[in-house]
Structure 1
């Protein structure tokens, strides 16, 4: 079966594995495992791409060495992109621009049904308040202690005990893989056979399948047994019947049946040709506003600034990043209205920034976009209080110590809601190919700050009435930095016409207040950037002739900002953009009459330069600038992704229609083991076997009982244990030492009453927090019955053997032990 352009791969872990966050928890864990939003371990796409590329490069080098060429290496560059920083990169040596990667992956996560089941399980009562994760999520990791060995003494070094988390073996994760194929045959390199849009080229498929077979381990300490994994592509299967599980891939066998393949033709040329769009308006008729709602799936890094090894992100996706996708999806609704072969002019379109949005409580599909806080708003208590003042209409009280506000606001009918988009931090490392670990020479560690998953974003797109935006609900797009792997994946929630614009503002007072809801690009008479209120007044005077405007400096609060960018097609940084910052408020004195309809058009289309990319969005005399003390609802708790939006998560029991085929999942096994160990450690020996406290300190008899635990794991072990109990009854001294009721309890616990151990451990009946779905408890208890007996009895015997003399007297009054023998 040939690989399609989009397919899914499965990672089956044969050992525990560790992909860490780079830090631990003080006093408990030295190295934490990375978890997703459902508190389950996952494999970042960067990690998976790195090991997969390394394996594919090994395959390509082997093939090229046989053919004495570099044809296969060219396909590696096409699939995974060039490495400009690598000294052996052929693209960099030839002085060519970087080649983008055609291969894109999503992080490898647990299946959706498992994440929903874990998410719906309650957190245990004894869990800490700041770490209220379910027992199943806690069971996804195990603890592995370690020490440092001194080179001279060969013994453990003092004070260097280390405890790290590792994800459990048996984990099965899934990743979505897509390969961007050329859209037309014309974009192919010369002498390259046509590429089917449904299937991968054969050389690419061969490299991916052969490379997947060579991937044996991922994550930390993979050279020392950790992270053993098999990567399964469509059509392949894992043989678990052998001692060492192996992967069988019939398609790979078929492709290599004739031996080493011949050198392939050149790969498709990257589609680096930019489409040219006219600056004119090609559609003179009316325009409409379409509201597109997006949900962040993986963190989005809209790079704003680089500080050392930290890449900071904006809390919005700029319209500059959205424009190319929107242009490619804009198409005329009728061929008769199609000018210039369906092209759309940049004067016809305006793509706003994708700003944070708040979902409606009754209708989650309806959202309210947030706006930047006006610069004239002041918040009490040095920016941390509950009272907000509008400096245009009222002065703040001196005792309130009001300061400027930051963030976003969204209208909620009665007032406004303060919105703080959640940002997430992701730390990664560049692994040296030779050392197989991060080094200073390879680039070391770097950190991305991005918009957190499940955040709702909203952008308003202005289009001609005769143009349709071809975006479907559920479609997935990629924006921002590092979007080929862990970042930049968003999902379309809805595409609908925006609500009607508010009525034109009243200018009877001769005052026009302008609120910039996005950055505004303006220039002076010499065409130099001019982010000043005077430049805005000149731009409005030119747009609203014959009216003219003058700045009222006493009621104007504005600021400037700088935007940096990078031209992917050029491979060079863009020139800096100096703009009037979003949130600025400019008060203008109006001379002459102003057409209200023209004001509404400026609110829709924007003012200044590059309005097609979301710059220049303004509001005239908005209600935010009229209220004396705006009623703002501040959230007391931490910001929540999605700002209250429904993210599609299940709140009830999980549906296991697509669940595990095995009766017991490894996650359930580990959760029950943790519960068994915890309950066993808290239980007293007398609660397990009544009266056994009389044997405290009697090492001979207790050691004999411990030996029976090993027999329970053997075939016919129960008969051997029953024979030992009957033999104990037949010896008067032993029978007197144990007593009849203790031996009877042993028979019930070990042989005749399988549920007794679960009642003693308080794990009988329903255990909703330890299973993925109700009704699976009996299968788990049957699987772990012998293990529960062994754990509980071992803890009880250890406690009895180590009992102090006072504990022995309290346990069996009138009975003394001397040299291991009873004396009355």
Structure 2
């Protein structure tokens, strides 16, 4: 079984001391609860957050918030007040908080230097081993009942009974973190940053909900790449953190070495949810269904360095959006009852009844000539902002909010295009690695693994020159931003035609004039981008344009468009802000003139295999062994209790353990054995019994044969154990508990049936006497 990178333990993920990477380990001393904010109606009022493997975890947002509070407490003590050099280091490590005071001039914001690589999870192979074992996953938590106390009466209040889900104590959750831009700090500054982080970690004592009632007691440890800070740093005033470094733009980038463009195709795999801000609806923040070029561009410029920023300003560098496929053309129609099925291309055939225009989604090639609509998967998570003085989420500072972001374990493709020769050879290799993009990229969101899929010159597989009187069918791959004659944002076809004319002129096709064709040859939508300035915490201007997937048809009224100009115009884009991925077009793509001959829908996911893929059991030397043994023990106890009740409920199976011969008084004597089941005590007790010999033999077999009780219980041990020695160790450890549980359940059931039988006999006797 292949383990997802985000689920690997810190020991399995390579840490780099030079880059400030280090490991985190959160030891949960007591039962803990990091909730989802909701419950399962009728069963559980408050549920624990679980990761993709179904196991409880601590989100990075929760850890960073608690850690920052602890560092602020340490800074207050070291600075002997609410301000000072150590408080400046808190802002440097965790970033300045975005709440602006009324009437106060806001200071320049600082991004966080500390970044946590997603949630803290069960270490090692625990997630992979428990992913398809529901009995073990369920045992990682338990349900705890509770009530609300009426302050007036001091008794339980009416209708206030609740059940809360709690994660088990004794586990150690693992994760990784890093200090970014560590090269900007000198040796003294590094020691100060590390010392403050370690002081804050020592002060972290609890996490999650119900902390005042004993839940969530924990211990946070930092290990790995960063050395122990010298204690002497804490006794002196540290030097101030360096100012935040902005992006550097080279004024005179190198000219292009030749005609055309070269490109690098990137494959982006989401390791954590990725939030590219789309809109806010109340306390719900919706993300986009792709990774826009404007959130990828800063990372690309940071990795290319040098002249990259100047090339983007000059229009010689373009970063396209990362999408799972090409946006569905709006000239396509889909079935009303199944939006995934493409029924017709209105540019090449009439649309049948029961269809509607496609407005969202991406083309999914499902084999042959068949196409379908694909929608990326979204993940919804709830968070909150805690107000320091009341230690609760309040509306004044944000309260409870929800993020709807791209789910992890999805693949997207993007292209970085530059004019030939403006960057040194091999520039594309610097783009690979782990990126942090989008909103909340310092904690639970934004981790993307980037690999290089393809490099080479930008070219067109099909398409020749278009002479005067010819037709240009333009398929927008991203939103097109254009302006009218008064420089206002526009969605007019005429303004789009002028933008395309300028793009063709820049590509070498000068003197070309285009006329829009409006007689059913187009399908246009309006796109809107509401972005957010993360550093200042303020909204940016709204970008209004023609939406991706729109299809426009133009007639070449004057001039001729060479094939090379079409190729370069597609590479450079049209309209405004092309470096950020806006204005990407395909011209005269053959798909727009091809009828839909094979309407179909994506294939359903293959059903789970009937047999689990074999995996190596967890050994004592591996990370996560202690956590799994704790979960296994709880799962075995739960399973043996259920199995004992099943035996007690079946008279035939119960009689193999508790025969009918002994009287109820004699059977009650068995309860004296339950507290102590050592072999010597059991043997002496059996010798003194005056039961029928058959009953003594059955009880002796259960008490003396250490394997017999497990034969009776018949537990699904393969579903309850993933450690190498788990079956043997747990059978020995839980033998006495299993015998006591089976005997107690059978004795209770036997006494209950005997009492019912007596009641029935008494009723029969009374009826006979009356008759």
**Within 5 Å, which residues of 2 pair with 1:40-55?**
40-55=55-70
Describe the SS at the equivalent of 1:539: helix
**Within 5 Å, which residues of 2 pair with 1:320-719?**
320-330=294-304, 346-356=314-324, 370-381=325-336, 384=339, 386=341, 388-398=343-353, 400-411=354-365, 412-466=367-421, 467=423, 468-471=426-429, 475-497=433-455, 501-505=460-464, 507=466, 510-542=470-502, 543=504, 544-554=509-519, 555-568=521-534, 572-591=538-557, 592-629=559-596, 631-635=598-602, 652-654=614-616, 656=618, 658-660=622-624, 662=626, 665-684=629-648, 687=653, 690=656, 692-694=658-660, 698=664, 700-712=665-677, 717-719=678-680
- Partner of residue 311, structure 1: 285
| 1:520 Cα deviation from its structure 2 partner | 0.9
- Partner of residue 150, structure 1: 150
C-alpha distance in 1, partners of 2:311/2:477?
A: 29
Report the RMSD for the aligned CA atoms in angstroms. Answer: 3.5
- Residues 304 and 638 of structure 1: CA distance in aligned 2, closer, same or farther (over 3 Å): farther
- Partner of residue 270, structure 2: 296
C-alpha distance in 2, partners of 1:218/1:755?
A: 43
| 1:218 Cα deviation from its structure 2 partner | 0.8
- Partner of residue 768, structure 1: 718
- Residues 696 and 181 of structure 1: CA distance in aligned 2, closer, same or farther (over 3 Å): farther
Q: Are residues 1:114 and 2:126 paired?
A: yes
Deviations 1:710-757 (A, max 9, x none): 113xxxx33223222222x2xxxxx23xx222222222212x211111
**Within 5 Å, which residues of 2 pair with 1:717-796?**
717-727=678-688, 729=689, 735-736=690-691, 739-750=692-703, 752-763=704-715, 767-773=717-723, 776-796=726-746
Q: Are residues 1:19 and 2:31 paired?
A: no
- Partner of residue 98, structure 1: 109
- Residues 218 and 38 of structure 1: CA distance in aligned 2, closer, same or farther (over 3 Å): same
Identify which of 214, 217, 225 aligns with 2:214. 225
C-alpha distance in 2, partners of 1:578/1:800?
A: 77
Contact 1:113 1:654 in 2 (8 A): no
Q: Are residues 1:75 and 2:92 paired?
A: no
Describe the SS at the equivalent of 1:599: helix
| 1:697 Cα deviation from its structure 2 partner | 7.9
- Residues 39 and 663 of structure 1: CA distance in aligned 2, closer, same or farther (over 3 Å): closer
- Residues 678 and 278 of structure 1: CA distance in aligned 2, closer, same or farther (over 3 Å): farther
| 1:350 Cα deviation from its structure 2 partner | 0.7
- Partner of residue 76, structure 2: 61
Q: Are residues 1:216 and 2:205 paired?
A: yes
Contact 1:686 1:692 in 2 (8 A): no
C-alpha distance in 2, partners of 1:474/1:161?
A: 53
- Comparing 144-153 with 481-490, greater Cα deviation is found at 144-153
Describe the SS at the equivalent of 2:670: helix
Identify which of 159, 175, 191 aligns with 1:202. 191
C-alpha distance in 1, partners of 2:748/2:663?
A: 10
C-alpha distance in 2, partners of 1:306/1:571?
A: 14
- Partner of residue 246, structure 1: none
Deviations 1:289-321 (A, max 9, x none): 110111111111100111111111111111111
- Partner of residue 249, structure 2: 276
- Residues 473 and 790 of structure 1: CA distance in aligned 2, closer, same or farther (over 3 Å): farther
- Partner of residue 126, structure 1: none
- Residues 521 and 111 of structure 1: CA distance in aligned 2, closer, same or farther (over 3 Å): same
Contact 2:332 2:342 in 1 (8 A): no
- Residues 375 and 470 of structure 1: CA distance in aligned 2, closer, same or farther (over 3 Å): closer
Describe the SS at the equivalent of 1:201: helix
- Comparing 799-808 with 71-80, greater Cα deviation is found at 799-808
- Partner of residue 365, structure 1: none
C-alpha distance in 1, partners of 2:633/2:695?
A: 31
- Residues 460 and 473 of structure 1: CA distance in aligned 2, closer, same or farther (over 3 Å): closer
Describe the SS at the equivalent of 2:682: helix
| 1:137 Cα deviation from its structure 2 partner | 1.3
- Residues 569 and 469 of structure 1: CA distance in aligned 2, closer, same or farther (over 3 Å): farther
- Residues 670 and 93 of structure 1: CA distance in aligned 2, closer, same or farther (over 3 Å): farther
- Residues 609 and 15 of structure 1: CA distance in aligned 2, closer, same or farther (over 3 Å): same
- Residues 172 and 690 of structure 1: CA distance in aligned 2, closer, same or farther (over 3 Å): same
- Partner of residue 240, structure 1: none
C-alpha distance in 1, partners of 2:292/2:242?
A: 31
| 1:425 Cα deviation from its structure 2 partner | 0.7
C-alpha distance in 1, partners of 2:569/2:348?
A: 26
- Residues 771 and 557 of structure 1: CA distance in aligned 2, closer, same or farther (over 3 Å): same
- Residues 280 and 474 of structure 1: CA distance in aligned 2, closer, same or farther (over 3 Å): closer
C-alpha distance in 2, partners of 1:588/1:346?
A: 28
| 1:762 Cα deviation from its structure 2 partner | 0.6
Describe the SS at the equivalent of 2:487: coil
C-alpha distance in 1, partners of 2:157/2:605?
A: 42
Contact 2:332 2:344 in 1 (8 A): yes
TM-score (normalizing by structure 1): 0.81
Gap regions ≥5 residues in structure 1: 123-133, 186-193, 237-248, 333-338, 357-369, 645-649, 730-734, 818-824
Describe the SS at the equivalent of 1:323: helix
Describe the SS at the equivalent of 1:29: coil
Describe the SS at the equivalent of 1:594: coil
| 1:214 Cα deviation from its structure 2 partner | 1.6
Contact 1:693 1:800 in 2 (8 A): no
| 1:507 Cα deviation from its structure 2 partner | 4.6
Deviations 1:565-618 (A, max 9, x none): 234566643322211110101011223432112112212221122211111111
